[in-house]
Structure 1
């Protein structure tokens, strides 16, 4: 398979926002990442996709997401190299909420007293480096210090990181759903490696529309790290799936979008209990009344 790489210089916030938007689509890219060239203090968005790259679609998505025109540079990559994995090599481990998220390239010792999760480079979004993911890990840690949920679902699971984090801490089954079949496969593989393969129920599903999801309802914990627009659209379904007293953890939300998401869930009977802000990104913790 011939692979093209698109890249564009952006701010860190713009690069991560565009990564999120691209990975919500299953027709644009094999992988998308944001990284900094520290020598010139410049952040870049990069995406790898089957050649020829659909530059027009990337440009339109950038206008919708960032409200501006973005000029992408396109280059053809060596087909003998696994660029999906290579694009994520060298990422430093992440520590958040007592979780330690690392890749197989990491050779250092695992710190004492953490919940270790290995998430390798793959064709799915979610290595723990984005502020939305660290926000969710911290929210999960805060929740589990107060109570132990028993019916849990991670919507838009990506690599399965958040579902695996929950399974490791609670030793209880967790549903992990995603619209992308590659994400479902990746989640299964990551769950097996992390020793929770028998606790993760990985499903290909849009939102909460799947018979297995309905069978396991109502939930006392619903986690969704996607984007503000899809989160607001998902609010009625979350309201129906959540039991009284359930905790809902939402992320993928820019700070200026938080009020709209909070209001959408308030209309379904959920109230804000805590808001975690990491730079321009917000993670919400709500409770079903």
Structure 2
């Protein structure tokens, strides 16, 4: 049998739980936490925590601490029948259409629109099913880049989660070399499983996906493959700012970075960190609350610079912003 603990929460609390939850990660047997909107008109949300065994008092207090707005409300604790808790937790996950991409769970495998590039990503312990605005924004930005004529040959997905964004990049640029990394080993296991489900070949050469467990870009394989034409980092604002010098060092002059996982009010400090390391903002996508940023690393020309201009910028470069 398995168990579910449910509590009402606010939208802000639900969004705060969309990334890593250190307090839960430190628990001996961490439950899987899913948040969902119960009533769009009323703006009511709910936190559901799934676990294998009946929760003790300490775990109940920990789960209650994730939703301060529910202080004084006793959580609902229920025993679930013998069903796959992953399937239960993903029942509310609707398919996502972002650009040419259609991301769905097993429940919608027979509803793929004609002509769409589809990925089957079931709920798991890793972030990135496509349902969150940050992931959908990155998918749309990748599609936008491809439609503008971009053709990166060397790509890194930092903080890959389920592997979805790396898979999308490989679908757009099938000859590119792509590496996906995550600080959480569980995410890399999930990515490996998802790669098999979606017929994504693993390996080191062009058209294959290499995997690495790494904090940020700190891995020999990531450093060896640098510099990258495209770096994707859908993580959180704090790590994005911390990683700015490392991502800048790993990005080729003229290369691009897609950054997401930040909320609107965090955009300015994130941009400031990357502008200090030679990036400019080329485009903004995503939603109003969860922006997705496309940055371009400035080329360095002239005397005592590492490179000189060999040609003028193409119209497609100009369409993605100005200096």
Partner of 2:184: 180
Alpha-carbon spacing, 1:59–1:113, altered in 2? closer, same or farther (3 Å): same
Q: Offset at 1:13?
A: 4.2
CA RMSD of aligned residues (A): 2.6
Are 1:166 and 2:175 matched, yes or no?
Answer: no
Q: Offset at 1:96?
A: 0.3
8 Å CA contact 1:154, 1:224 repeated in 2: yes
**Which has the larger displacement, 183-192 or 47-56?**
47-56
CA-to-partner distance for each residue in 1:84-143, whole Å, 9 max, x for gaps?
332013522110021000111115332122111111222211110111111100111111
Partner of 1:99: 101
CA-to-partner distance for each residue in 1:181-239, whole Å, 9 max, x for gaps?
11101101111221112322121111111111111111111111111111111111101
Answer 1 or 2: which has greater strand percent.
1
**Which has the larger displacement, 237-246 or 188-197?**
188-197
Mapped partners of 1:23, 1:48: distance in 2: 17
Q: Offset at 1:33?
A: 2.0
Q: Offset at 1:4?
A: 5.3
Aligned counterparts, 1:1-289, within 5 A: 5-22=4-21, 26-28=25-27, 29-38=30-39, 42-49=44-51, 51-52=55-56, 54=59, 62=66, 71=71, 73=75, 75=77, 77-78=79-80, 80-145=82-147, 146-171=149-174, 172-198=176-202, 199-289=208-298
Q: Offset at 1:252?
A: 0.7
**Which has the larger displacement, 83-92 or 253-262?**
83-92
Alpha-carbon spacing, 1:122–1:49, altered in 2? closer, same or farther (3 Å): same
Alpha-carbon spacing, 1:109–1:147, altered in 2? closer, same or farther (3 Å): same
**What 5-or-longer segments of structure 2 have no aligned partner?**
203-207, 299-323
Length-normalised TM-score, structure 2? 0.79
Alpha-carbon spacing, 1:173–1:54, altered in 2? closer, same or farther (3 Å): farther
Q: Offset at 1:69?
A: 5.6
Length-normalised TM-score, structure 1? 0.88
Runs of 4+ in 1 over 6 A off after TM superposition: none
Count of residue correspondences = 283
**Which has the larger displacement, 277-286 or 203-212?**
277-286
**What 5-or-longer segments of structure 1 have no aligned partner?**
none
8 Å CA contact 1:191, 1:197 repeated in 2: yes
**Which has the larger displacement, 275-284 or 135-144?**
275-284
Mark the structure with the bigger radius of gyration: 2
Mapped partners of 1:31, 1:143: distance in 2: 34
